[in-house]
Amino acid sequence: MNNKILVADDDQNICELLKLYLENDGYTVYVANDGKEAVSLFQTKSPDLILLDIMLPKMDGWQVCREIRKTSQAPIIMVTAKGETFDKVLGLELGADDYVTKPFDAKEVMARVKAVLRRSSGEAPAPDEKKVVTYDNLEINITNYELKVKGVAVDTPPKELELIYHFASNPNRVYTRDQLLDEVWGFDYYGDSRTVDVHVKRLREKLEGVSDKWALKTVWGVGYKFETKE
């Protein structure tokens, strides 16, 4: 395995707990206790995933997330003691891939780490299982986690790509937010339904005006669908 994980948290006990679990699973772990150290370690160690606490000294998690996203799409899982939807939505808007809320179960964190790494690495399935969906000016390749718009690759976080792939694989089917949380996020996701809204908004920014043959539509009072014109 040998993936590198950066744990950024000012709580020594949490750092030690996560480090223990992660190292037992074969990961190489780096620990930062403040935001500036987190950015420095990210730049020097190039970790494959960051577990990022929001309430960090010197530079908070929001600022760290912004700094990392300037140069990298490495997966970020936000860790916060706050349960407000605002915090969760802001983290996702800044480019985080997932979040967990303290107090958390270490096994749940491990499940999320594995799932996010699996998505971001684009683990190749067997050749006959290659998963690509194409429409006019749009190609979604879930095998190597690549989104192409008008033939040009567009940087897309793993969860956004999984969401548009799910929509495009089931054209004209209406999904509720809860269905999408269950089918796309999975593993007993404990998130708020606004998580879906944030991801849809970000996808629309990438796909606006790309084609008149399909669209990501809101079905008022229900949810969303990927609408195609026959």
Work out the pLDDT band at 178, boundaries 50, 70, 90: confident
Q: Do both 92 and 175 map to the same domain?
A: no
Q: How many angstroms separate the CA atoms of 79 and 15, rounded?
A: 12
The residue with greater pLDDT, 85 or 104, is 104
Confidence (pLDDT) at 47: 93
What is the mean predicted confidence (pLDDT) over 203-215? Answer: 92
pLDDT of 84 strictly over 60: no
Q: Mean pLDDT, the chain, as a whole number?
A: 84
Q: Do both 115 and 169 map to the same domain?
A: no
Report the percent of the chain where pLDDT is more than 90. Answer: 39
Confidence (pLDDT) at 110: 84
Report the percent of the chain where pLDDT is more than 70. Answer: 86
- Could you tell me which of 45, 12, 13, 43 has the C-alpha nearest to residue 29? 45
Q: Answer for the pair 91, 54: CB distance below 8 angstroms, yes or no.
A: yes
Domain boundary among 121, 154, 183: 121
Q: Do both 60 and 20 map to the same domain?
A: yes
CATH number of the domain bearing residue 75: 3.40.50.2300
Domain boundary among 101, 121, 141: 121
> Three-state DSSP class for 224?
strand
Cβ-Cβ contacts under 8 Å for 121 (sequence gap 6 or more): 48
Q: Do both 175 and 83 map to the same domain?
A: no
Question: 12-26, 120-134, 135-149: lowest mean pLDDT where?
Answer: 120-134
pLDDT of 124 strictly over 50: no
List, as one string, the DSSP characters of the chain: ---EEEEE-S-HHHHHHHHHHHHHTT-EEEEESSHHHHHHHHHHH--SEEEEESS-SSS-HHHHHHHHHTT----EEEEES---HHHHHHHHHTT--EEEESS--HHHHHHHHHHHHHHHHT----GGG--EEEETTEEEETTTTEEEETTEEE---HHHHHHHHHHHHSTT--EEHHHHIIIII-TT----THHHHHHHHHHHHHHTTS-SSEEEEEETTTEEEEEE--
Tens-place pLDDT, residues 17-58: 899 989 988 899 999 999 999 999 999 999 999 999 988 999
Q: Do both 115 and 132 map to the same domain?
A: no
pLDDT of 189 strictly over 50: yes
Q: Do both 11 and 114 map to the same domain?
A: yes
Which domain range does residue 219 map to?
127-228
The residue with greater pLDDT, 177 or 185, is 177
Question: 36-45, 111-120, 146-155: lowest mean pLDDT where?
Answer: 111-120
Total tally of structural domains belonging to the chain: 2
Domain boundary among 105, 121, 137: 121
Instruction: Report the predicted TM-score, pTM, of the whole model to 2 decimal places.
Output: 0.59
Confidence (pLDDT) at 7: 95
Confidence (pLDDT) at 190: 57
Which amino acid, 31? V
CATH number of the domain bearing residue 134: 1.10.10.10
What is the mean predicted confidence (pLDDT) over 147-157? Answer: 89
Q: Do both 73 and 161 map to the same domain?
A: no
| CA 120 vs CA 13, 75, 107, 136, 162: distances in Å | 28, 7, 20, 25, 10
Q: Do both 33 and 100 map to the same domain?
A: yes
Q: Do both 158 and 188 map to the same domain?
A: yes
Q: Do both 14 and 69 map to the same domain?
A: yes
Q: Do both 211 and 114 map to the same domain?
A: no
